[in-house]
Chain A
């Protein structure tokens, strides 16, 4: 076993690193759900595409560079380490594209992928419905056969990016009277077509990250069916694998977050001596835990210890103090978790990882990373915009792409072979 990179991989990593160093905007772009943010993020995608870095794993003819999976992982790490913008095209790039490459026609790939890579066409996912969440096969939105195509009707919801997206891909019931998992068709449609209404939904975090899509007799040509009509469930499960696996959430994001958590720990954690409110003692070891688990000031015995954030004394590190606090253990465990995810990704090049396992791991890890950061920040957590936003976003992880309960069921059945 080894983690050695061959010269081609090193050269690719250096190329990516150099491009990002030159081009990543110094200030964060406006949110993707705003008009200005939409434009700025598409502009960024174009810049990536011009450098041949929008979708490195794709075939060259569609705008990729046919890079091996290892290079995709290296790109992901460099991208997040550089703090580059969120990918506005992620649903298309990481979900639809691999589905098309596996199940689509050459005509579809040639038509859809290049504008996707350039940010000219942003895609949304239209899967869930009000009555079909975890139970996706319960979808009721219909595709009815008509001359040369299909007519869509119904309601899709929780559709990320639909507010700014140009097109969407989704699953529709096309053949009634068949078993639930059959008679579904996987289709692409234009969000600006007649009969489509997109209504933004304000999220818990205040953004319009997702939306409802109302479909009222929307025509879709046969050329926008992916795979065979009626075989949509099988195609959708291919997409779901990418959504839950390393494609949507590579390790770079969590490695970067763990790094930021570590920085936070170094600036707020160990360098923050406990100060006794009563006597003001700031000796680093002024807090002693008594038998009942309560911290007491060793000088006056008061339990009213609080942390002093600033002050010259705060820069003194107390040797040994760090490893005794519960916060330190959580920081280390979060770092180990991010490292484990990263190493599992490298291992997956030879031993594939179940997408459900990946999804369970990264989503729980992301929550742990952000909860740990919040707890380190203490009362300041709610006014720290970056960590607060990250925390709220992390809470969505165990829900989207199939709830973690669904993932545990899938894992139990398919990997462990437990009965239904």
Chain B
């Protein structure tokens, strides 16, 4: 048993931290393509992609280690989408995986109700849309500027059908894990900059960090982050399933990946559960991690701003970037209440899973057609539906055929 990073994972995190610390500042919205390519070189964008498709075939624990660092440095762009969820949704044989792994292709995703917009959909190379149990291509519609200057949210218009029967639940949970890790990393960065500031900023002839009104708030942030992190790691373990480790992802490379993972990851009836130190339930544990990481990061953000005072409120200060990112991610990939509802259903044994064996309380991925009147093809979210025939009726965005 080990609910902590390995030496290798700590080294990976340190390398990423160093690389991201030295990256030049990126102004403007959307992902920095040079940085994204560097992340490709470092292996980050290929973590969840099978080795034979140019990735690393790494584990969910490796993913959260990396995404903590990306959050720590407030890396802009659709991180959880492109690095975590989309590789699984594309399936192991998709030829776009190599570009994703290299950091040359940046993908975004809409998956209502958790993810109603595609982050940076206007600049992404690929947009997927989860439509019920189908995965489709999507196209960016109207674009909305986020309260976070680095984020732009796009309505998604329905495109060609990519396929059905894909591991949608696992893919979305992996995205939630990545998002939670970003939140935790951003929260840690906010704490670190606040502690640094409180040590050096002097008022009344003393460093402000010597005042209990300041130090006690920072101590509470440290505790919140310290106790959220193991929940995140445990959720990565639960997502992976007992006794599988990184092998789970290699499993995904197999053609029947979805079934394999569904049979093992977090399924309460799995034979191996008896031999773990704690009961594991992928959906429940991922949701619990999202709630805890989000709360800890929010506390860190509020406290950081208060400790910095006016200087933290300036557009130049890097604190603001983390603060708006935390606020956005906290409500992205499922709101805290949506995740609490899933935890509640799991721990009270209520909620009927669509396929009878997914985590109780899983929100069934919502068919796009149920969100509004099926009023024809190219109507932007959320007021349009995605008719059954959409795959045939809508111009494809990338020239590839639907399955």
Partners in one complex: yes
Contact partner of A1 (CB less than 8 A), chosen from B199, B236, B291, is B236
Determine whether the beta carbon of B198 is less than 8 Å from that of A344. no
A74 surroundings in chain B (CB, below 8 A): 277
A254 to chain B, nearest CB (A): 12
Determine whether the beta carbon of A416 is less than 8 Å from that of B195. yes
- Interface residues of chain A, those whose CB is within 8 Å of chain B, are 1-6, 9-10, 70, 73-74, 262, 265-266, 270, 317, 319, 322-323, 328-329, 331-333, 335-337, 339-344, 346-347, 349-351, 353-354, 356-357, 360-361, 405, 407-409, 411-413, 415-420
B262 to chain A, nearest CB (A): 20
Contact partner of B219 (CB less than 8 A), chosen from A5, A328, A331, A411, is A411
A322 (CB) vs chain B CBs: closest residue: B344
With known contacts A343-B234, A350-B2, A3–B215 Cβ distance under 8 A: no
A276 to chain B, nearest CB (A): 25
Interface stretch of the complex, out of B178-186, B237-245, B378-386: B237-245
With A1-B237, A9-B1, A328-B341 known, 8 other A-B pairs at CB within 8 A are A1-B61, A4-B276, A70-B277, A270-B348, A340-B231, A411-B222, A411-B223, A416-B219
Interface stretch of the complex, out of B49-57, B139-147, B204-212: B204-212
CB of B216 within 8 Å of the partner chain? yes
Contact partner of B199 (CB less than 8 A), chosen from A9, A10, A342, A418, is A418
A361 surroundings in chain B (CB, below 8 A): 223, 227
A70 and B1 alpha carbons, distance in the complex (Å): 9
Q: How many A-B residue pairs have CB under 8 A?
A: 181
Determine whether the beta carbon of A323 is less than 8 Å from that of B288. no
Determine whether the beta carbon of A1 is less than 8 Å from that of B348. no
Interface of A is mostly: helix
With known contacts A322-B350, A323-B344, A343-B3, A412–B275 Cβ distance under 8 A: no
CB of B278 within 8 Å of the partner chain? yes
Task: Mark each residue of chain B from 222 to 235: 1 if its CB lies under 8 Å from any CB of chain A, else 0.
Answer: 11001111110110
The residue in B61, B207, B212, B234 that gathers the most chain A C-beta atoms within 10 A of its C-beta is B234
A341 and B198 alpha carbons, distance in the complex (Å): 28
A328 and B341 alpha carbons, distance in the complex (Å): 8
A354 to chain B, nearest CB (A): 8
Task: Mark each residue of chain B from 155 to 188: 1 if its CB lies under 8 Å from any CB of chain A, else 0.
Answer: 0000000000000000000000000000000000
B-side interface size class: 35 or more
Determine whether the beta carbon of B220 is less than 8 Å from that of A408. yes
Determine whether the beta carbon of B237 is less than 8 Å from that of A329. no
CB of B343 within 8 Å of the partner chain? yes
A262 (CB) vs chain B CBs: closest residue: B347
A413 surroundings in chain B (CB, below 8 A): 215
A5 and B291 alpha carbons, distance in the complex (Å): 27
A360 and B5 alpha carbons, distance in the complex (Å): 24
Q: List 21 A-B contacts (CB under 8 A).
A: A2-B1, A4-B275, A4-B276, A323-B337, A329-B340, A333-B291, A333-B340, A335-B288, A340-B228, A340-B288, A341-B227, A344-B230, A346-B234, A349-B3, A350-B2, A356-B219, A357-B223, A411-B222, A412-B218, A416-B215, A418-B207
Determine whether the beta carbon of B227 is less than 8 Å from that of A1. no
Determine whether the beta carbon of A328 is less than 8 Å from that of B1. no
B272 (CB) vs chain A CBs: closest residue: A4
The residue in A328, A343, A411, A413 that gathers the most chain B C-beta atoms within 10 A of its C-beta is A343
A262 and B234 alpha carbons, distance in the complex (Å): 21
With known contacts A332-B340, A341-B227, A408-B216, A1–B288 Cβ distance under 8 A: no
Determine whether the beta carbon of A2 is less than 8 Å from that of B291. no
Within 8 A of A (CB), among B1-22: 1-6
